[in-house]
Chains A and B, each alone.
Chain A
Amino acid sequence: MKKVLHFASVALLGLLAWQAVVTFGDLPRFILPGPMLVFSTLWTSRMLIAEHAVVTITEVLIGLGLGATLGFASAILLVASPLARNLLRPMIVFSQAIPVFALAPILTLWLGYGLWSKVAMALLIIYFPVTSAFFDALMRTPVAWVELARVMNATPARILWCIRVPAAMPGFSSGLRLAAVYAPIGAIIGEWVGASRGLGYLMLLANGRAKIDLMFAALIVLAVLTLVLHAAVDAVCRRIWGG
């Protein structure tokens, strides 16, 4: 409750500042529309925005699910097999030197204008944070726990599954929390490069037609969606493994 109140007061302050800039700066509405206009557009165009938001949400959720699964599996593979570690780890790190944004046009070329090029973008952008957070946590299992398991005659596979993986779940959680914030960025970039649906597409369209109020309305929806997604992932992580 205190958190909600805190958040609400910060949001209100932001809105006031925004309105003040518009009013006292005497800015034309096609440069920066005031919050009142944006919210009225948000209301009148709610069906249009919702339609595009559903597309973006779908892309983000699929990308998040695939990226989390792939990141989880990769980290386990890297930990379980020294060979995989030696071969793949430099490759994964090197791949991070390529800006994901630069890949967007290629992905659109390969996967088309539809859903999957955006899913691929979201996946690419979250794969590294998830893998690396989980891998680091897996490599930091307290030695004494592993020793205890060894004295109890556990095989390395059982130690990995029964001790190291559960012990590393807080690390996986922090990877997921980052992913919840990054995945929408990936989807939006994908939509900017080539799409006929989605919030990113709508923003570009509105921008092109000088409907800045619509663009801001879409932007607000996107920000709220991201916050909700982050909060949901956070709640799920806390619920399942308490951290």
Chain B
Amino acid sequence: MSGAPALRLTGRVTIGGTAIFGPLSLEVPAGRWTCLLGPSGVGKSTLLRLFASLGDGVDFEGTVGASDNMPLAGRVALMAQSDLLMPWLDVTANVTLGARLRGTQQPRERALDILARVGLADHGTKRPDALSGGQRQRVALARTLMEDRPVILLDEPFSALDAQTRARMQELSAELLAGRTVLHVTHDAAEAARLGETVLLMTREGITPVASPPARVPRPYDSVETLAFQGRLLRQLMETV
């Protein structure tokens, strides 16, 4: 996608005087898929939310923004760690929530198409409380894919899925989001090994980039190269903690 900017952040975050992370500095390259890999509680979600201008509850000292120096607000789609489906809307209406909120034409055709691609074609008229956890997560994924924004922030988007569905959703997302600036938070080394054109390792000490193999993403989950990369990521994680 033309006009997908790189993302930059420098600074540190405290919450009520407790240091959460930083000082650190990271750059998310433009138009590529970046995985931010790190253990639970290290501050990945907090960092992701800063790019979505959702830093209300935290004290952030530093700068956050896009490489083109234009505001990020309005150019970002966020899939948060919980699915945030509206219980009073059916699945299709949840997927077209963005259009409803902006008061624009609701792209029903596209919504049904994306719902079919996340494997929920038969569930369009259900309410969220009639779905399983993994189905709900796929609705949230569909809603994010609908947003058509140059910058996509994903917070553990596949965590509730079974291995098979997860692999398929990874491929679908990689296809639909190609060319956008994607920042994908995960604590799963296998996932980062498949999807990360850039992989950033986040630990208490800071953020370190890890050299990734040249194969195009999504990398085959069973290739020697991907598995070796996964092993390397896991080793680095184990060594830093």
In whole angstroms, what is the CA distance A165 to B82 when docked? Answer: 21
Cβ-defined contact, A159 with B80, below 8 A: no
Chain B residues contacting A147 (CB-CB under 8 Å) are 52, 54, 80
- Smallest CB–CB gap between A238 and chain B, Å? 13
Cβ-defined contact, B101 with A144, below 8 A: no
Interface 1/0 per residue, A126-162 and B, CB below 8 Å? 0000000000000000001101111111100011001
Chain B residues contacting A162 (CB-CB under 8 Å) are 97, 100-101
Cβ-defined contact, A152 with B101, below 8 A: yes
In whole angstroms, what is the CA distance A75 to B79 when docked? Answer: 31
Cβ-defined contact, B101 with A158, below 8 A: yes
- Smallest CB–CB gap between B207 and chain A, Å? 23
In whole angstroms, what is the CA distance A148 to B94 when docked? Answer: 12
Q: With an 8 A cutoff between CB atoms, is B58 at the interface?
A: no
Q: With an 8 A cutoff between CB atoms, is A169 at the interface?
A: yes
Binding-face segment, B29-37, B61-69, B70-78, B220-228: B70-78
- Take A152-B97, A152-B147 as given contacts and tell me if A144 and B84 are in contact as well, using a CB distance cutoff of 8 Å: yes
**Chain A residue with Cβ nearest B140:** A148
Chain A residues contacting B74 (CB-CB under 8 Å) are 153
Cβ-defined contact, B76 with A151, below 8 A: yes
**Chain B residue with Cβ nearest A241:** B88
**Chain A residue with Cβ nearest B81:** A144
Cβ-defined contact, A152 with B102, below 8 A: yes
Q: With an 8 A cutoff between CB atoms, is B103 at the interface?
A: yes
- Smallest CB–CB gap between B88 and chain A, Å? 5
Q: With an 8 A cutoff between CB atoms, is B98 at the interface?
A: yes
Cβ-defined contact, B54 with A151, below 8 A: yes
* B positions within 8 Å CB-CB of A: 52-54, 73-74, 76-78, 80, 82, 84, 86, 88-89, 97-98, 100-103, 147
* A positions within 8 Å CB-CB of B: 144-145, 147-154, 158-159, 162-163, 166-167, 169, 241-242
